[in-house]
Amino acid sequence: MKRMNSAIKYLFALLLLFASCEKAPIDDDVDDGKQEQPGDSGDKDANVRVRVVQVEGASNLDERFSRLEIAVYNTEKRLKTIHQLRGEASFGEAGIRLSEGSYRLVVIGHSSNDSPTMTTPEKIHFTNTMGYTDTYYYYEAFTVGDQPIEKNVALAKASTTLRVVSTDPKTAEAKKLRIYYTGGSGELDATTGYGTVASRQTVMLSLPDSLTGHPVQFNAYTFLHAEEGLLNVTITTYDENDGTILEYTTDDIELSRTDTLELSGPLFSTVPVDPDTATTTSSSASVTINGQWAGYLHYSY
């Protein structure tokens, strides 16, 4: 009995010891695997303040994108990611607490359905599911010392726009439109502004009845691998049973990274409304690219 009482007293003493101990401090620069929720402006005790002050081609942030991603990395890994949505008070500003050392900052503005994977600055990865949009970026390597610093960020355009314009009105039977394209990338290297991988990108678009009787216009986006590149594009119109109404294919369209590539032609019938814009035969339709004749789109129906 005496031995049992001694054991109980020993255990009770251990419990008191553990209860009195404080938790070990967590390094501010260690990524705990959690990501900030939309609207979080960052650490309230921040010594690094990030503020987006300029967007290429826009007078304010709201004109170009609806989501903002702010990420900080050290030489080994991502340390912190802040996600913001348009309309929130903190949109475009964030505070981060960092110890002294060397870091890399990435800021991405976009309007996709979700946040891209941002494992490293060289691999900002978007997917077909979340969608591709006009995308802007900023990258900087910087050093934190013993004084607070502010980063005024100017976002540059990274995406190339592919614009599809119908020269004929949507028909009642047309329910969906698919834009499939290769030659670009769905992944961005934020250190260069170029695409990183050879992607097969797909945009699926619904064609509601409210568009019937009207021409349509849709945009798709990609990241070129250099200042100039080649795109291969297939555009397919479907009925309600996913049957193909028309399909156009064109290869090796040359364009620059800052271009908006416009493909215009009939998407719903074999006869275009405007003969000056596109001409047809039983097997092909001419395509207008940036106002100039540029080869043919072939289709089947």
In DSSP notation, 39-73 reads T--B-TT-SEEEEEEEETTBSSGGGT-SEEEEEEE
Contact status, residue 198 vs residue 226, Cβ threshold 8 Å: no
| Distance, CA of 10 to CA of 227 (rounded, Å) | 73
pLDDT at site 91: 95
pLDDT at site 44: 73
| Distance, CA of 120 to CA of 5 (rounded, Å) | 58
| Distance, CA of 151 to CA of 46 (rounded, Å) | 12
* Among 110, 189, 193, 186, CA closest to 158: 193
**Complete DSSP assignment for 192-253:** TTEE-S--EEEEEEE--GGGBTS--EEEEEEB-SSSEEEEEEEEEEE-TTS-EEEEEEEEEE
What is the biggest distance separating any 2 CA atoms in the chain, rounded to whole angstroms? 105
Overall residue count recorded for the chain in this entry: 301
First to last CA, the chain: 93
pTM metric for this prediction: 0.78
| Distance, CA of 136 to CA of 300 (rounded, Å) | 37
Side-chain-facing half-sphere of 130: CA atoms under 13 Å: 15
pLDDT at site 259: 82
- Tokens at 226, concatenated: 């250099």
pLDDT at site 210: 97
- CB 85: neighbour CB atoms within 10 A? 12
pLDDT at site 20: 36
pLDDT at site 61: 84
| Distance, CA of 294 to CA of 292 (rounded, Å) | 6
Centroid of chain to Cα 14: 53
Per-residue pLDDT of the chain (301 residues; tens, 9 = 90+): 444 444 444 444 444 433 333 333 323 333 333 344 444 566 678 999 999 999 998 888 888 999 999 999 998 899 999 999 999 999 999 999 999 999 999 999 999 999 999 999 999 999 999 999 999 999 999 999 999 999 999 999 999 999 999 989 999 999 999 999 999 999 999 999 999 999 999 999 999 999 999 999 999 999 999 999 999 999 999 999 999 999 989 888 888 887 888 888 889 986 544 444 443 332 333 444 333 333 333 322 2
